Structure 1
């Protein structure tokens, strides 16, 4: 696994656009807190070749059902979040 990018800001925050610009093929993007709302935002152009994940408790807290979203994002638990950080070469928090 290349880099793990972790972001927690809403889809309208400029930091999300900046993060998307830094993603490279093979990277993983983990959406947490308000960033999970980006999965329901049709305006976002997700980069090709990345793995998209979302923190499951944050999806539930915002009423988002991963099976009903048009974006393919894998929900992860807190334990899986820890595993992702351990398996990644680099972790970048935005």
Structure 2
């Protein structure tokens, strides 16, 4: 049921190391800007850390429903098609 897809081949204009550094810097700024910034930075970090588990929980829930496995298969197929044949305007950015 669904395998991770490396999107870097389909969205080649993203400089992952630079974006990672920029994101970490932004989160660090927020963390030291006061209680609200700290709360936002913590929330972002927690959400990113929890995303894989949430994805699995959602997949497990859908798979347990009548017809759920077919829905997951259709979604996975649509995503695979999107990432193997992305819309032309995505590649032109």
Structure with higher helix content: 2
Instruction: Give the structure-2-normalised TM-score.
Output: 0.21
Structure with higher strand content: 1
Instruction: Give the structure-1-normalised TM-score.
Output: 0.21
